[in-house]
Amino acid sequence: MLAFANGANDNFKGVATLWGTGRYRYRVVLLWATLCTFGGSLLAMTLAQRLVELFNGSRFLGKATSLDPVFLAAVALGAGATIVLASRMGAPVSTTHALAGGLIGAGLMAVGAAQVQWAAVLSSIALPLLLSPLLALGLTVVAFPPLARWLRSRSCICLTQPAPVLLATGNTTEAAQGMLPALRIAHRSDCARGDELTRWNTEELVHWSSAGLISFSRGLNDTPKITALLLSANLLLPMTSYVVVAATMALGGWLAATRVARTMSQRITPIEPVPGMSANLVSALLVGFASRWGLPVSTTHVTLGSIFGVAARRRERTNWTLVRHIVLAWGVTFPLGAVFASGFWFLLKTLA
């Protein structure tokens, strides 16, 4: 349930700026997001193991608690219920926040406040979650102007006819057709020479690539957090656990992402390719770096922080009321996950 809800709420976030341009069909960009996310989810088996160690709760609740099936089930149910509720409302919230809230809520019920390693909670979870969206917003505001200038000066990528080469034959040289085509990145007017085999719009190519990169990074970052609960319960083999979680996340995104997609792509601010690409690149780099080094950032907060960075540069066309509601939903996610998880822990203990 948690993996399905994660896919429904998070899968579209990487391509939100693509659909927001109004140039592409919903199912096309969703398919791109699903494939890239699935690839990142599978590679998380080797690239993001530190997140598994963090999100089974052992670092700040103790080894015994992290192996308790009641604790693990309460965390999954509490976080899952939070994300399902948010997805039904079309609110793009953080699975990472919901999971962190679930760990603390169920942990308080299991061991009590005195046994929780609060310093580890602050340094390992709270600070990365709080700082990452601010960093994403600031980097997008700073990165957008130079990226925009570069793209406008290099607006076309062409694959041209093979260039002639000179071949020495005895005492003379002869021109012969080269074997490999040449790649040229230039202004659109310089590309239109008649010698190109194919031509791509730089803005579109970079925008799609950056959207795929952030979807890949999201799979890399979120999958081990959910898989940690399965691995600690020792229910499935590690590889099977990753594949099951990755497939369920993909299914949730394909079937139930529409409401969150509309919120992110169409209701915050109009998105054009260049600022959208800038937001995607910043988000992908931050999430990818965090995943590699075991920092539990929220893909949702980083992505929306970047989109807010775009909005800050065009404030007159931004729905700031919706922005405030989204930030409010962020603040509610953690305590709601904790409340749900503590309630599920009590219920499961009673039934056991």
pLDDT digits (tens, 9 = 90+) for 76-113: 999 999 999 988 888 888 888 899 899 999 989 988 88
Residue 312 and residue 223 share a domain: yes
CA 34, 249, 126 angle in degrees (round to 5)? 110
Looking at 145, 172, 199, which one is the last position of a domain? 199
Residue 205 lies in a domain: no
Q: Tell me, yes or no, whether 217 and 193 share the same domain.
A: no
Within-domain flag for 20: yes
219 within domain boundaries: yes
105 and 175, same domain (yes or no): no
Asked if residue 168 and residue 131 are part of one domain, the reply reads no
What pLDDT is recorded for position 249? 94
Domain shared by 293 and 188, yes or no:
no
**Tokens standing for residue 162:** 């093979």
State how far the Cα of 101 lies from the Cα of 296, in Å rounded to an integer.
13
Q: Do residue 171 and residue 265 come from a single domain?
A: no
Which parts of the chain have pLDDT scores under 70?
Answer: 140-141, 143-145, 147-203, 269-277, 294-296, 310-318
Q: How far apart are CA 345 and CA 343, in angstroms?
A: 5
> Are 45 and 98 in the same domain?
yes
Domain that holds residue 130: 2-154+211-351
Of the residues 199, 228, 253, the one at which a domain ends = 199
Write down the pTM of the prediction.
0.76
Beta bridge partners of 184: 158
Task: Examine the fold and report which residue of 144, 175, 199 is the final residue of a domain before the chain moves on.
Answer: 199
The answer to whether position 61 is within a domain reads yes
Any residues with CB less than 8 A from the CB of 218 and at least 6 apart, and which?
Answer: 10, 11, 13, 14, 37, 40, 287, 299
* Amino acid at position 212, single letter: G
Same domain, 17 and 7: yes
Do 67 and 126 sit in the same domain of this protein? yes
State the Cα–Cα distance between residues 217 and 292, nearest whole angstrom: 10
Give exposure, 222-233, as e/b (b: 16+ Cβ within 10 Å): bbbbbbbbbbbb
Decide if 220 is inside a domain.
yes
Q: Are residues 192 and 264 in the same domain?
A: no
Cβ-contact 16, 215 below 8 angstroms: no
- In sequence order, the 6+-apart residues with CB closer than 8 A to the CB of 176 are 164, 165, 166, 167
- Closest CA relative to residue 287, chosen from 6, 8, 37: 37
Say if residue 67 is in the same domain as residue 182: no
The number of folded domains in the chain is 2
Counting every residue written for the chain, the total comes to 352
In a domain, 7, yes or no: yes
Residues 234 and 320 in one domain: yes
Is 161 domain-assigned?
A: yes
Chain-centroid distance, C-alpha 37: 8
Nearest partner of 3 among 291, 225, 330, judged by Cα: 225
Residue 344 located in a structural domain: yes
